[in-house]
Structure formats: C-alpha cells, structure tokens
Structure 1
Amino acid sequence: MNDKNPNRLTEYSCLVFFLILKLVLSFVLVNSVYELHRDEFLHLDQANHLAAGFTSVPPLTSLFSWLIKAFGSGVFMVKLVPALMGAITILYCWKIVDFLKGNLLAKCLVAVACLCSSLLRLNTLYQPNSFDVLAWTAIFYYLIKYFDKNEAKYLYYFSIFVALGFLNKYNILFLIIGLLPAILITSKRKIFADKHLYLAILLALLIISPNIIWQINNHFPVLNHMKILQATQLVHVNRIDFFIGQFLFFISSIFILFAGIGSLIFYKDFRKYNWIILTYTITLIVFSYFKAKDYYALGLYPVLLVFGAVYLSRVLATKYIITGLLFAFNIGSFIYLLPLLMPVYSPKEIVAHHKRFERGGALRWEDGQNHALPQDYADMQGWKELAKIVDVAYEKVKDKSTLLVRADNYGQAGAINYYSNYKNISAVSYNADYLYWFKMDKPIKDLIMITGWNDEDPQRKREQPYFGKITKIGEIKTPYSRERGAGVFLLEDAKTEVSGIIKSEIEEEKSDH
C-alpha cells in the first residue's frame, strides 16, 4: 500500500468531521424559542415571484428559495442551505491550504478558526451573506491557482464566481474595486495580457446580463435602495466601530488572523501573495469610506485565516504544547463567548445577563441605540402569533377572492405567507418587493390590515368612511418581539372606490422608490 494513503484517509476523515460539525452546530446552537428572521421570509417569498431582479436583492437568492420550496419549504431546509454554504466555504479553505502544501495541522487550524467565529452565526440565517462569503473565498482560490499554474480554466472559474457573487449581492463589487489596484501594482498585472481574462469577463457579463437589463428597465432600483440604506442604517455606522468589528468577528481566532496578516506582509515564502493583503487593505478602506456595515467585509477573512494557519503550522511544527494551547484558546474562548455570538440564550436569559450583552455591543441596533435584545433576535419572534391572528380574521371573510391582506412591512407580510394555514393568503405590503406583488384583478371588498393603530389613530379614522365595519382581531403580544403591539384589523364591506385608492397608493409608493 502507498505510504501516503493512510495520511490521505486521515485528512478526508477530518474534513468530513469538520463539515458535518459545521452543519450540526448551525442547528443545535439556535434556541428553539426563535422563529425565522424577518429577512428570511422575504427571500423565501421570492420563490413565488421569480424574476431577473428584485428591489431588495439580486435574483440568485430567489433560485435558492425555489429549491427550498421544491423540498417543502420546511425550517430544516431553510437552515440547511446557508449551513451548506458555510461548509463549502470551509472546503475551499481546505483546498487553499492543500495548494499551499499545508499539512493536516494547518487544515484543522483553519477549520476550527472558521467554526469558532462569527461565520458560524452568519451561516444560521438564510440571507445572501453566506453565499457572499463563499463566493469571495472561491474567487481568491481560483486567482491563487491561476497565478501559480497560469491555466486559463481558473480565470473562467474566477469569472463564474464573480458573476454568481454579483447575482447574489452587489457587495462583490467592493472586492473587485480592491482587487484591481492590488493586482496592477504587483507583478500579477501580467494577467491583463492574457486574452482569456477578457473572454472570462465576457462570460461574467453574459451571466449577469439579465439582471443588468432588469435594472435598466426598472430605472436602477438598486440606487434608490442604497440611498434608503444610507439614510436609515449606514448613517449610524461609526468608522472606528467598523474596524473594531473586523477583529471582534474573529476574536477567538485572533492569533490565526494576525498570523495570516503578518505572514502575508513579512514571511518571504508568502511574498508572491502580497496582492491578497493589498486587496484586503484597499477593500477595507473603500468600505470604511462608504461607511459600510462591518459584516460586509467578512468575505475577506477565510483566505487570511488560511495563510495564518499554514504559517503557524510551520512555526509550531514540533511545539505540541503551544499548539494545544492555541486550539484550547480558540475553542475555549469561543465557548465562553458563545451566548454573545449565537442565539443559544432565550430572551429572558439575555435580559437577565443584560450587562454582559451590552458590554459586548450585542444590543446595539441599526438605529444606533441599545435595546433589550440583539436586533436579529427581536426579528425572530412574534411571527407565528401574527399568522394565527391573521388566520382568525381570514376565516371570517366569506369571499376570499376579493380580500386583500396588507401588512406594514415585508417581515409581517412574509411571515403571514410562511406560517399561515392558508397557503394562498398572499399577504403584501407597500414595503420592499411586496410593493410589486399586489393582485388587484378584482375589486377589493374586504381588507385585513396589520398596523399599529389605536382607537384615536388618524389613519384609522380615515379608513372608517370607506368600510361598513372595522374590527380589531388581536395584536402581537410576544415579549421583546420587534413587532410587539402590531394589531390585526378586519375591514369589511368596502365601497367600490377602495380599489382605486389602493392602486393610486401603490403607484405613489413606486414613484417614491
């Protein structure tokens, strides 16, 4: 038997162990008290409205949603997809280590570094972020391969992941902005003399062209989306906090991360990879300039952890005690910080440990203020309760073909469509993509509205002359839910002009978008 076979078998066994562990942890470290996240509902509903583009995100997520729908749309499948993307990210890290001729220790180091970091939390949510990190990691892998092997196929693989990354999240453009100058000012600029680069660019443009055409035909809604994001969320971003966040994301793996950054700058064996550290630096500066959210840059880190792991595996080759301490710190500190990184605590437990979460910055929301729960956790409660109340209202309506269910926001609309017992309920909202999903082919006779009205609310008083009866069915009472207090109202016996008013409001909202 070849002497290398046992070692290879051991490596494969370790790889399979880490990939399975990644999937398992994505499920077991989420407290069952939490429901799906508001963003997940929107993405899942896109499967019912497949298109070349959406106002909220590019179209790739809708295709993943279509696959989830094909497998029954259960919570297990919703959680499995991002977990698989995280596992494939680890696989690419493993492949980069292999290419750098790193040993099993280096592979285990980078796998543990990825597992014991914020990437684990990222991969529990069905959002474009998981594929974003995967695409960035794959792009680095294929460029590293191309620069070493000079084989054209790697340029095409590179271009495919750039295109898929673009169709997943426009965030990938920041990586390209960082890559271009980094390659131009190093010896790697010879890539621009390779005709296959331009053919690969054409391939990428061909893949993304349906979305580009959609953006043109719809007057570039991405620009307005960015404007709204800047006004409502990015305005609260602090640049210092952005840079602090880069290291807090990998605080348990900090020695591996620093080793990666340091070795790419000073270690002579990695000198030919200096374009990577330049890309990292330039991209962070651009992100900071635009006051981006700190997690936008997460895709830069798996490759840095790879180089850190390979370097440390060489330095610590026979230093078994230090190696053991490194693993112990990585895993031990992650376990200690676990309640801050993963939703393992219930809301009551988080409130009971309020000070700890506040010190860790976990309670700060996009509005720049501290709240009782982390924002993501507050966004994962109250949805089932809402759907049940809406179902009660829905049952009271005799002619459901002339019913409209209108929510205040996309989270409410998506949660109703996901959790309701009536799968044809088709709740909509003037918010996000739902604005374009109204079905107004019949005059509206009854309306179910989810809103924060009270008895003296001017909006409620405005609606009264248009309906024969307005009844409050119930409201969300789940403690700490971001939607707590939102009421469900049944508006019956509408006058004929109601449909016209709703259509005009839709057009007005569209013009504002």
Structure 2
Amino acid sequence: MRTNKPLTSPLLLLLFLLIKLIFQYAVLNPVYDLHRDEFLHLDLANHLSAGYLSVPPYTAVNSLVIKWLGNGIFWVHFFPALYGMLTMIIIWKMIDMLGGSWYAQTLAAAMFICSAMSRVNLLYQPNSFDILAWAAVCWCLLEYLHTSGGRWLLWMGVITGLGILNKYNIGFLVAGLLGALLLSSHRKIFKDKHLYIGGLIALAIAAPNLIWQVRYGFPVLHHMKELTETQLVNVDRMAFVADQFIFFIGGAFLMMAALVGLLFFRPFRPYRVFLLAYIIIILLYLYLRGKSYYSLGIYPVLIAFGCVYWERIFQGGWTKNLRLVWLALVIVPFALIVNAIFPVLTPDQIQQKARKFSALGLLRWEDGKDHELPQDFADMLGWRELAGLTLKAWQQIPADQQKNTLIIGDNYGHASAVNFYNLGKMPAAVCMDADYVFWFPQMDTIRYIIKIGRAPEKEVMPLIGKVTEIGSIKETLSREYGSAVYILSDLSPQVPQLLRKRVQQRQQDYRGLR
C-alpha cells in the first residue's frame, strides 16, 4: 500500500511540525509557574539513579540534559513538544505505509494538534515520551505485518525497553498487542525467533531499573497502592469511556472511522489486530480504574487508520469537495475551547468563565470535587512566591549555623520548587514524600529547621523553643494557598533522633518492609 510521495509531502510535514512547536509555547500564559510534577522531574537530575519512587530513570536523564542546557523554562517545555513532534512524524509515516495521500496526512496532523495530545505535550512529564513509545511500537508492528521483516521486532524490543525506562504504562500496550496477536491470524508471530530476541533486548535495556526495583523491595507496588487509594478510587468508569471521545473533540468522527475501517475495510483486514488490541487495552484500564489519559498512546496508530479510511471514502466525485469541511470539523470545535483546556487565561479570567469550565468538566480534581481552577492550573501557581519566602528564611539563619539547618517541606511540590528556584543559593530542601525521603542529609547537628507548609504539629511543639513565621502564599487560587515558611529554633536534642526515626519508617513503607 506504500506509495511514492511528491516533494510537497515532507515540506508539508515540516510546516505542521513548526505549527506544533509554536502552538505549545503560545498556549502557556507566563503568569503560571511550572507544574509541581515538573519541578520534581527536574530535581531528579540532581540525584541520578537506576530508579525512583515516582518514575523510572529516563526522566532523570532527560532532566540532566535540560540542566546542561541551563535549566531554562524554554527547554523544560521544549522536550514534551519535541516528543509530540516525533509522534506526528510516526503518524505521517504510518499513513504513508497505508497508502494515504497528503490530505490524510494533513487531516492527521490537524487532528493531533487539535486534541488532548497537545495538552499532554504542554507539561514536562513522562506522558509525552510514553505516547511516542507506544506510537513507535505500533509503527514497528505495522511494518512487520506489512513486510514480515524480523528487524522490526528487534526495534520493537529496543523501543519497549526505553518505554519501560520512561513509564511502566507501556506494559499495557505489550499486554494488549500480545493478547491480540494470540487471538488473531497473526499468532504465527510467536514462532518467529526475532520476537523473543526483541523481548530479550527490551529486558536488557530495562534491566538496571528492574534490578533496582528488586533491590529496594519493589517500591513501585507501594506507589501504585498509594495511587489507587488516593486517586484511582475516584475514577468513574463511564467518564473514562466518555473521555476517549472527548480527547479528540471535533476529530472524534475520525476515531470512529478508524474502528469501522479496521472492521470492514478490506485493505485494513491484515491489521485488525490493532482493533483487538485497542479493545483489550481499554478493558484492562476499565477493570483497573486507570486514568483516562493512560490510554492516549494507542491513538496515534488509530489516527493513521482513521484518516486514511476517511480519505478513501471521500476521494472521488463531488464528495472530494467536502475535504475542507472535515478539516473545519477538526479545527473549529478545538479553537472554541482552546482557552479552556490550556492555561491561556489568567486565573481571574478563568473565574469569570467558570460555567464554561465546569460544563467541560475541567474543574473536577482527583478528589472527585469541583474547584475554582482546573487542578493542573492550580498546581502552577504560588511556587515562585514560596521559594522566595524560603530563601528569605535561609538568609535570616545566622551564617555560622546555616550548615546546621535542615530545610523540609510538607510535600514534594514544596521541596522541588524551592530547589528549582533557589538552586545554588541555599542547600537542597527535602520532604517525607516521594523520592525525597531517600535524600535527607546528615541530621546529627541540626540547630535550625526551615519548615515549609503547615505549622508544626502540636505533639512536637514541646521540642521546639521558638517558631518564627516568615510568610505564606497569598495567591488564593493556588493549590498551595496558605502554605507558609517557618524558622524553628532552640531545638531539643531529641529532634534529630525523632527525624531519623520518621525517615527510616517512611523508607521502610516505600520499600514494603512494614
């Protein structure tokens, strides 16, 4: 089905890649800080390891590159945008393989940009590379089914291994594809030695992280348990299904076209395994109450099928004149709500349009309740202010006692934001949350504590001689509104011992030892 493309096709791709890159920067209002998760991921560069509680190690390596480039905001946003652009190239290649023309590629590029994919590509999180890895694995399988070339299975192994080092979510794709292949006419693939060599390659690439998990008692299981109890329990399965269509807004008809085409379109018959894999993956997420965006990685291949099939339906006669209509259906609905799904508006402007945001379900947080701002937006406010207060507190510590000062936040957002903004100005902050529980400094000579978050608990107040509040976040729409910075001084000699005990208990919790 592959065809030779005219010169305009790569030039057209380049145009869409530039549009994609510009768009990702244009929809971010500078009034917002980075997201709390972005601060955490960037801080991993300062603690290189084969594994972390929060993510596998690929993000740390990516963050190290950003650090080498100067840790600027431009580069923080560049990499998720880059992974989105690479995903677009893969979709472009899949359409080429399926015999689609420049129009199908244009439709696919518009659909990718005008969808939740661009929302994911906005933040520096593992999700953008995860979607890229899923798309690349599907492309390799598509090429294998088309050519029977064993090298594609080897490349699948390489990409799967890298995908595991980025986010374990790719395991759902592997399960879906293997299950679909086993149930399809392509089960003969299990007789191909390249499949098993590819599997060994994937394991070899992922081995450092897998060994780390074994060594530390599989902390990922504790993380998943915590995630299930605090977030996934609030997942509505019907909302999950609805989101699969909402992700693509006006382009949802092309997703339906992909499913119909894979079921009934004769040239797609050899590739029905992707339809079966899609069903298996969605059912797995529904059963486990996965978040709706976990499934986004399976859609690039469906975008390719949907756009090629739609082009075939409307390629002749008067129906060819409807091509602009289909593009408009993809772009116009997205344009009407772009200010709602991206942090384009200021917090005050969002409050003025609260009904629109509520109607779109954008004000619902992980706790299952509606709030004044979308959760991600509220998580992008107040951090710079908090870091400034922490630095002010540090400067008030006597110079000869700064080496005996512990800086501790209530959560990883506090610690990572302070470390980002105050890098090189003061020692690193820690917390009893996420990976920071393993990064505490020596605490034998603590004389001062800078506490970020809530005031000290009543039960420890007898151990603290003096509490000085430096200030608190004044941005009422920040998720961290009211978080304050305190200097704790005249500490009891019992404080270091108590802190060490709490740190050890927390470490044991994450390692599954308690």
Pairwise CA distance, 1:484: 0.2
In the alignment, the residues of structure 1 paired with residue 190 and residue 506 of structure 2 have an alpha-carbon distance, to the nearest angstrom, of 45
Pairwise CA distance, 1:441: 5.8
In the alignment, the residues of structure 2 paired with residue 219 and residue 464 of structure 1 have an alpha-carbon distance, to the nearest angstrom, of 35
Pairwise CA distance, 1:214: 0.5
In the alignment, the residues of structure 2 paired with residue 320 and residue 267 of structure 1 have an alpha-carbon distance, to the nearest angstrom, of 19
Moved more, 318-327 or 388-397: 318-327
Residue by residue over 1:46-84, the C-alpha shift from the partner in whole angstroms, topping out at 9 and shown as x without a partner, is: 111111110111111111111111101111100000000
Pairwise CA distance, 1:352: 0.7
Structure 1 residues 423 and 148, CA gap change in structure 2 (3 angstroms): farther
In the alignment, the residues of structure 1 paired with residue 477 and residue 80 of structure 2 have an alpha-carbon distance, to the nearest angstrom, of 26
Structure 1 residues 129 and 421, CA gap change in structure 2 (3 angstroms): closer
Q: Do the aligned residues in 1 keep the contact of 2:240 with 2:286 (CA within 8 Å)?
A: yes
SS in 2 for 1:485: coil
Match of 1:55 in 2: 53
In the alignment, the residues of structure 2 paired with residue 257 and residue 421 of structure 1 have an alpha-carbon distance, to the nearest angstrom, of 45
Match of 2:149 in 1: 151
Residue by residue over 1:147-198, the C-alpha shift from the partner in whole angstroms, topping out at 9 and shown as x without a partner, is: 2111121111111111111111111111111111210111211111111111
Q: Do the aligned residues in 1 keep the contact of 2:257 with 2:310 (CA within 8 Å)?
A: yes
Is residue 347 of structure 2 the alignment partner of residue 347 of structure 1? yes
Q: Do the aligned residues in 2 keep the contact of 1:407 with 1:429 (CA within 8 Å)?
A: yes
Residue by residue over 1:264-319, the C-alpha shift from the partner in whole angstroms, topping out at 9 and shown as x without a partner, is: 11111101100000000010001000000000000011111111111111222243
SS in 1 for 2:221: helix
Structure 1 residues 421 and 165, CA gap change in structure 2 (3 angstroms): closer
In the alignment, the residues of structure 2 paired with residue 289 and residue 439 of structure 1 have an alpha-carbon distance, to the nearest angstrom, of 42
Pairwise CA distance, 1:492: 2.0
Amino acid at match of 1:207: I
1:107-506 mapped onto 2 (5 Å cutoff): 107-318=105-316, 319-397=319-397, 398=399, 399-420=401-422, 422-440=424-442, 442-453=444-455, 459-506=456-503
User: Identity across aligned pairs (percent)?
Assistant: 43
Match of 2:23 in 1: 25
SS in 2 for 1:440: coil
Pairwise CA distance, 1:452: 2.0
Tell me which of 82, 86, 89 is aligned to 2:87: 89
Structure 1 residues 290 and 461, CA gap change in structure 2 (3 angstroms): closer
Amino acid at match of 2:206: I
Q: Do the aligned residues in 1 keep the contact of 2:235 with 2:289 (CA within 8 Å)?
A: yes
In the alignment, the residues of structure 1 paired with residue 314 and residue 458 of structure 2 have an alpha-carbon distance, to the nearest angstrom, of 73
Amino acid at match of 1:54: Y
Q: Do the aligned residues in 2 keep the contact of 1:139 with 1:158 (CA within 8 Å)?
A: yes
Pairwise CA distance, 1:421: 5.9
Q: Do the aligned residues in 1 keep the contact of 2:443 with 2:500 (CA within 8 Å)?
A: no
Match of 1:79 in 2: 77
In the alignment, the residues of structure 1 paired with residue 254 and residue 108 of structure 2 have an alpha-carbon distance, to the nearest angstrom, of 8
Residue by residue over 1:22-65, the C-alpha shift from the partner in whole angstroms, topping out at 9 and shown as x without a partner, is: 11111001111111000001110111111111011111111111
Aligned length: 504
Pairwise CA distance, 1:425: 2.3
Amino acid at match of 2:407: V
In the alignment, the residues of structure 1 paired with residue 371 and residue 91 of structure 2 have an alpha-carbon distance, to the nearest angstrom, of 37
Pairwise CA distance, 1:460: 4.2
Structure 1 residues 421 and 223, CA gap change in structure 2 (3 angstroms): closer
In the alignment, the residues of structure 1 paired with residue 414 and residue 328 of structure 2 have an alpha-carbon distance, to the nearest angstrom, of 43
SS in 1 for 2:272: helix
In the alignment, the residues of structure 2 paired with residue 88 and residue 142 of structure 1 have an alpha-carbon distance, to the nearest angstrom, of 15
Q: Do the aligned residues in 1 keep the contact of 2:145 with 2:271 (CA within 8 Å)?
A: no
Pairwise CA distance, 1:422: 4.1
Q: Do the aligned residues in 2 keep the contact of 1:159 with 1:200 (CA within 8 Å)?
A: yes
In the alignment, the residues of structure 1 paired with residue 185 and residue 343 of structure 2 have an alpha-carbon distance, to the nearest angstrom, of 46
Amino acid at match of 1:191: I
Give the unaligned 5+ runs of structure 1.
454-458
In the alignment, the residues of structure 1 paired with residue 90 and residue 293 of structure 2 have an alpha-carbon distance, to the nearest angstrom, of 20
In the alignment, the residues of structure 2 paired with residue 127 and residue 230 of structure 1 have an alpha-carbon distance, to the nearest angstrom, of 20
Amino acid at match of 1:247: F
Amino acid at match of 2:505: E
**TM-score, normalised to structure 1's length?**
0.96
**TM-score, normalised to structure 2's length?**
0.96
Amino acid at match of 2:100: G
Amino acid at match of 1:246: Q
In the alignment, the residues of structure 2 paired with residue 243 and residue 180 of structure 1 have an alpha-carbon distance, to the nearest angstrom, of 23
In the alignment, the residues of structure 2 paired with residue 262 and residue 460 of structure 1 have an alpha-carbon distance, to the nearest angstrom, of 59
Q: Do the aligned residues in 1 keep the contact of 2:450 with 2:486 (CA within 8 Å)?
A: yes
Match of 1:510 in 2: 507
Amino acid at match of 1:407: G
Amino acid at match of 2:382: G
Match of 1:456 in 2: none
Over aligned residue pairs, what C-alpha RMSD do you find? 1.4
Residue by residue over 1:109-137, the C-alpha shift from the partner in whole angstroms, topping out at 9 and shown as x without a partner, is: 11111000010010010001001110000
SS in 2 for 1:8: coil
Q: Do the aligned residues in 1 keep the contact of 2:258 with 2:309 (CA within 8 Å)?
A: yes
In the alignment, the residues of structure 1 paired with residue 82 and residue 286 of structure 2 have an alpha-carbon distance, to the nearest angstrom, of 30
Pairwise CA distance, 1:451: 2.0
Amino acid at match of 2:348: K
Amino acid at match of 2:385: E
Amino acid at match of 2:29: N
Give the unaligned 5+ runs of structure 2.
none
In the alignment, the residues of structure 1 paired with residue 373 and residue 290 of structure 2 have an alpha-carbon distance, to the nearest angstrom, of 23
Pairwise CA distance, 1:92: 0.3
Moved more, 397-406 or 62-71: 397-406
